[in-house]
Structure 1
Amino acid sequence: MAPASPDQAPATANTLAPTLTLKQGTAWTDAWQRCRDVAPEAFLDDRVRNLWAANWQPGGRTLPATSPVDGTPIAGPPRLDAPTAHQAVRAALDQHRAWRHVPLAERRARIAATLDALTEHRELLALLLVWEIGKPWRLAQADVDRAIDGVRWYVDGVEPMLADRAPLDGPVSNIASWNYPMSVLVHAMLVQALAGNAVIAKTPTDGGLACLTLACALAAREGVPITLVSGSGGELSEALVRAPEIGCVSFVGGRDTGAAVATAVADLGKRHILEQEGLNTWGIWNYSNWDALSAVIPKLFDYGKQRCTAYPRFVVQRSLFDRFLDAYLPAVRGIRIGHPLAVADPADPLPSLDFGPLINAAKAKELTDQVTEAIDRGAVPVHRGTLADGHFLPGQDTSAYVPPVTLLNPPSSSPLHHAEPFGPVDTIVLVDTEAELLAAMNASNGALVATLSTDDRATYDRLAPQIRAFKVGHDKPRSRGDREELFGGFGASWRGAFVGGELLIRAVTQGDEREPLPGNFPEYHLMP
């Protein structure tokens, strides 16, 4: 790969560190050529095709794209217009009507064959995730592995889950954020297909195009009825959300877009699974196990907190604030960030980093501006990291990187007070009473996860049910989970059917539904 051009903003180099270079065989050009070799039907000279009507289709207006890792140009999405998206949805309905009658044994065999193919190309899929969305190598591999292992669990045990159940009347439409293309989006699509549905997915606007294209090419070769299209949400939403052919809408993303989708599916009476952002919080109350807390702090920064189960808010008993800082600050100061593919020697393994870049330079600037504004309005900077000691190539573009930042008492006028930053920014709120603790932990009208650290189990048992998060941990972080673990959310963080294990199958099948599906639905609209 060519070095960054002189007009790109270089990182401040650590003169004591060895000079780094890109690990041999990991350049974007290497990954792209491997994609073309594996799936030439989907990858052209410098672009990808959309998959619909069981064929890789030319067309679509390709937009330029760059990697958040170092500004390298990468493949951009071939964006379809609304009429073509409607054609794709109608074609998916034809596929659905055929696939829903395919015997379960054959569906299982085809999904299992897809998993074998994904396993064969595991490292390439992970490398694409590094370049497209900036995941460190360890986390990129974990995303691929969770998708494969999670779907295999369903392949092995789905038969009793489908007893007295049937596929939906139309395909499942998937709109998901960019941060977990494999373990969230591909996992969901393959389980939905295993249950007897054709599936449609929109590639996330900000990243994951090549990884998803390769995964869908491997599935399509096994005869799995998948549609993969690119385009703007505004252009495609009429087809992917409102079209009468769609049997269910599965959405993972922010509250603004999610609110519009929620309104549409509720008005249409359409089955839905809507996972949205929430401010996940970690409470500290009458607590003393500081070594355990210090050990977990770096893990909370995995992938720069760009995940739906990140913990960006600590709510701390004021009398414990000094002890909290003693545990927190050394841990956050040891966090490693940088280029996920940079090594000092070609024989070295890829670096073990806590996180790399944010999804793009625009997000990095937005978050940096929010931090600056919060400090100007009274927030106290407790910790501000620097890129100076980061793990970077000489002269590389670092415009998408933000080091860890911790702010005390962000003002109520700041987005950092009430919304999820989706980046490596922690905020701390000090409280004096249990009522203040609960109010601060419930600041965002519902969350996916929360944790309460307290020495007294009885205190945890009394307070945890009052925390408006779907999963509440005692001293330990909670995760999204998969396989048999139920998942959902409270308040504005979730709408529609809960998922996990048998409930994920129930969400995308139909049967004797005399009782509503488990989940969060508007009171005026319980799913049939």
Structure 2
Amino acid sequence: MTLILKPGTEWNTVAARARALAPEAFDIDRFSNFIGGEWKAVGQPGEHVNPVDQAPIPGPPRIDHDAAVEAVADAVGQHREWAVVPLDERIARVSAALDGLRDSRDAIALLLMWEIGKPWKIACADIDRCVEGVEWYISNIERQMEGRRPLPGPVSNIASWNYPLSVLVHAELVQLLAGNAVIAKTPSQGGFHALTLAHAMMARAGLPVTLVSGVGSELGDALISSPDLGALAFVGGRSNGRAAAVTLANFGKRHILEQEGLNAWGVWDFSQWDDLAPLLRKGFEYAKQRCTAYPRYVVQRRLFPDFLQMYLSVIGNVRFGHPFAVEDAGDDLPDLEFGPVIQKTKASELRGQYNEAITMGGVPLYHGDLSKGKFLPGQDLAAYVAPACVLEPPRAWSLHHSEPFGPIDSIVLVDTEAEFIAAMNVSNGSLVSSVATDDAAFAARVREEVQSFKFGINRPRSRGDREEVFGGRGASWRGAFVGGDLLVDSVTDGDRALYGNFADGSRYPDTLDG
């Protein structure tokens, strides 16, 4: 059957809905930066195409370095006022912002779908996790702030594009609860319309937020190195994170730097394949474009036939395609694992990296076909990548030690426990890892050797375990640990020690380590 674009979800219709909800922030052909408590039509709007069908949409209005310096100065003034606002009032305003996010939830979700290609249910989950997570902090913040005080300056937030609400806005709202003004930079790749609408709801609640767009190299000095900032929260790649860490170390500045790592599922002495299959299928959510995705499998060689039978049934039935394509106008939006990747250049890069692995001697275990996806007739497929898998990836492969940030898996076969641990640790640290095993003693042994912060036994781990510490090991994390009480500690001062992964080697005690 020929698919159609679900009526009422066209980009122009969705954009008009955002303008109706926040006319102060959106014009017909551009949107504004929020600086000094005002929506300002400053900055040069850039060109942008959406990843769904490559059609143009308004790009972020990029400010220059001098404007960023002024924005930080305005935020510093807001911080002085906000830091002395009573906690009850901060709770009330953050709660009002959550009401605004709930009221605009569907509009934000539709923007996320067009901007960064999230399927409907995954886009809604991004917003819901933000709201539900902050609700938990609201119910705990009075206890968490005992003996704590806001930082001496605002918190600067630089985050990747993939989870604008559940990572970036969530962090900002907790920082605000703790008494800090906040600054956020919109990601260049996408999410800026959704973030603008979300910040309009935050601004209406009277929260001291700053939202700016711009090129990182131009704004970095102001948003990272300014001596007036209280802290930096960064989510991104290792190269940019490493540069930020060096700068922050020189300033002795508080920081939370979440960076990439190659997360792995290990399989050893295991038999419960029917239990593992749905976990692996869910792992393809959003094309594995997240910091806690599992793109590497380390499999005991003798189990490979059983693993392969299970794995091929999973990867061969992953649902992907145009996130707005339906059979009939009255149908719900499709329930997909993923839509496009973030850009057509990323899709081309992923296809090239798969071919590189095969050329170097890797085994093409599975190579998906876009014809299995659900698309509109004649639509542009430049940003879509079908799932694929490389068996025994060559060590010289560009992705042997790095995460693909896309739906390309790799499988490494091992025979000994020592090989297993080495393969799990191939990227010098990761945020999460898991083992599938029937042997509890084996799991306990390798848990001590695998260099990931969160470790799962017969289950995946995630960033969003609300009441648990989150951090990283090796090169995957620098700075203060976060999660639960430690998220509040990371953006406040007080008598309790600040724990984390810092240049001096200090870490959190093993008793609370992930």
Query: TM-score with structure 2 length normalisation?
Result: 0.97
**Aligned residue number for residue 160 of structure 1:** 143
The 2-side partners of 1:297 and 1:172 are apart by 36
Q: CA RMSD in A?
A: 1.2
- Give 1:55's aligned residue: 38
Question: Where do 1:360-375 residues align within 5 Å?
Answer: 360-375=343-358
SS class of match (2:235): strand
Distance 1:428 1:381 in 2: 11
**Would the aligned equivalents of 2:499 and 2:507 in 1 still touch at CA under 8 Å?**
no
- Equivalent residue in structure 1 for 2:501, among 520, 524, 527: 520
Equivalent residue, structure 1, for 2:329: 346
- 1:446 counterpart = 2:424: no
Q: Is 1:509 the counterpart of 2:492 in the alignment? A: yes
The answer to whether 1:394 aligns with 2:392 is no
Alignment of 1:380 with 2:360, yes or no, is no
2: CA distance, partners of 1:179 / 1:31: 20
1:82 and 2:65 aligned: yes
In 2: Cα distance, 1:187 partner to 1:220 partner: 15
Secondary structure of the structure 2 residue equivalent to 1:415: coil
- The counterpart of 2:26, out of the listed 12, 27, 43, is 43
Q: Specify which of 1, 6, 13 is matched with residue 30 of structure 1.
A: 13
1:416 aligned counterpart, secondary structure? coil
Distance in 2 of aligned mates of 1:91 and 1:442? 44
Aligned residue type for 1:519? G
Determine if contact 2:9/2:110 at 8 Å carries over to the other structure: yes
CA distance in 2, matches of 1:52, 1:524: 37
Report the Cα offset of residue 360 of structure 1: 0.5
Alignment of 1:99-498 (within 5 A): 99-498=82-481
Q: 1 CA distance for matches of 2:400 and 2:4? A: 40
1:78/1:230 contact within 8 Å kept:
yes
Secondary structure at 2:311's aligned position in 1?
A: helix
Secondary structure in 2 matching 1:326: helix
CA apart distance, 1:61: 1.4
User: Is the Cα–Cα contact under 8 Å of residues 494 and 520 in structure 1 kept in the other structure?
Assistant: yes
Corresponding residue for residue 9 of structure 1: none
Counterpart amino acid of residue 196 in structure 2:
T
Look up the SS of the partner of 1:228 in the other structure.
strand
Q: Unaligned stretches of 5+ in structure 1?
A: 1-17
Residue type of the partner of 2:344?
Answer: A
Aligned partners of 1:356 and 1:378: how far apart in 2? 30
Instruction: Tell me, in whole angstroms, the C-alpha distance in 1 between the residues paired with 2:125 and 2:457.
Output: 25
Measure how far apart 1:482 and its partner are: 4.2
* SS of aligned partner of 2:380: coil
Displaced runs of 4 or more, over 6 A: 524-527
Q: Tell me the distance in 2 between the aligned counterparts of 1:167 and 1:276.
A: 25
Q: Secondary structure at the match of 2:257?
A: strand
Instruction: Assess if the C-alpha contact under 8 Å between 1:278 and 1:446 holds in 2.
Output: yes
Question: How far apart are residue 526 of structure 1 and its match?
Answer: 9.2
Q: Give, as a single letter, the amino acid of the residue that structure 2 aligns with 1:453.
A: A
Question: 2 CA distance for matches of 1:189 and 1:203?
Answer: 13
What SS does structure 2 have at the residue aligned with 1:257? Answer: helix
After TM superposition, the score normalised by the length of structure 1 is 0.95
DSSP 3-state at the match of 2:372: coil
2-side partners of 1:412 and 1:526: how far apart?
31
Alignment partner, residue 511 of structure 2: none
Q: Which runs of 5+ in 2 are unaligned?
A: 509-514
Deviation at 1:153, TM superposition (A): 1.2
Cα deviation for residue 295 of structure 1 reads 2.3
1:313-365, Cα deviation, whole Å (9 max, x unpaired): 00011111111101110111001110011111011111110100000100000
How many residues are matched? 508
- Paired residue for 1:8? none
Show CA shifts across 1:258-300 (max 9, x none): 1001111111100000000000001111111111122222111
Question: Partners in 1 of 2:157 and 2:436 — Cα distance?
Answer: 36
Q: Which amino acid aligns with 1:518?
A: Y
Q: Distance in 2 between matches of 1:522 and 1:244?
A: 19
Aligned-residue offset at 1:483: 2.7
- Give distance in 1, aligned partners of 2:61 and 2:170: 23
